[in-house]
Amino acid sequence: MAAVPCQNVDSGPGVKVCPLCAELIKAAAKVCPFCRASQTRWAHWGPSLGVGFSVLTMLALVGLVCVWAFPDILHLEGREFAPHRAELAVARTSLERDPTKPGLWLNGYVTNSGTYPWRVLELEVRLMEGEGKLADVRQPRISDPFVVQPHQERAFRVGLDRVRFTNLNASAKVRVLAASDANHPPKNE
């Protein structure tokens, strides 16, 4: 004799199966009377969503810690110069008059005390008169940027156009204003 599947008398259009405990319950039930599981559309996703949210939160936290610990890792152009500005020092500067036009030439040396090579792009020149009186500030771009290797120095000469004062005994306080990572090719500007 062939086996006949067992039909439950209660199964019909007004019942459904609880997705958690597999018991037959009324189709309109909001909570399973056997396991107390909610019967809403997203109820069985609740535990999975909680775990997924926790995993995403942990990944975001790990990402933030990595960005904080390794700030140079995301810079496609190379290292950011600002944290390393103190590693480049400008020394032995001198000012020379340009006899053909109303400007000055600034000569000096940039010394790199850091461990990374830097391409010097722009300087900040503070021209001082007398006893530390600020006379003018210039930010000349280097027309031919040069690279200063770690623990080395490099000479430079840059023109300062149309200076506002005429004191020949002026001094200059100079610092590197902008530089880029020399391990990466320069940007075309």
What pLDDT, on a 0 to 100 scale, did the predictor assign at position 189?
45
CA–CA distance, 102 with 159 (Å, rounded to integer): 11
Residue 45 dihedral angles phi and psi, to the nearest 5°: -85, -15
Q: What angle do CA 44, 45, 50 make, to 5 degrees?
A: 125
Tens-digit pLDDT profile for residues 151-189: 999 998 888 776 655 555 667 788 998 888 888 777 654
What pLDDT, on a 0 to 100 scale, did the predictor assign at position 105?
81
Mean of the per-residue pLDDT values of the chain: 80
What pLDDT, on a 0 to 100 scale, did the predictor assign at position 9?
47
What pLDDT, on a 0 to 100 scale, did the predictor assign at position 78?
67
Take residue 116 and report the two structure tokens written for it: 């990374």
Q: Which domains, from first to last, does the chain contain?
A: 15-69 (no CATH), 82-181 (2.60.40.10)
Q: What residues of the chain score a pLDDT lower than 70?
A: 1-12, 42-44, 46-47, 71-78, 98, 101-102, 162-170, 187-189
The reported pTM is 0.55
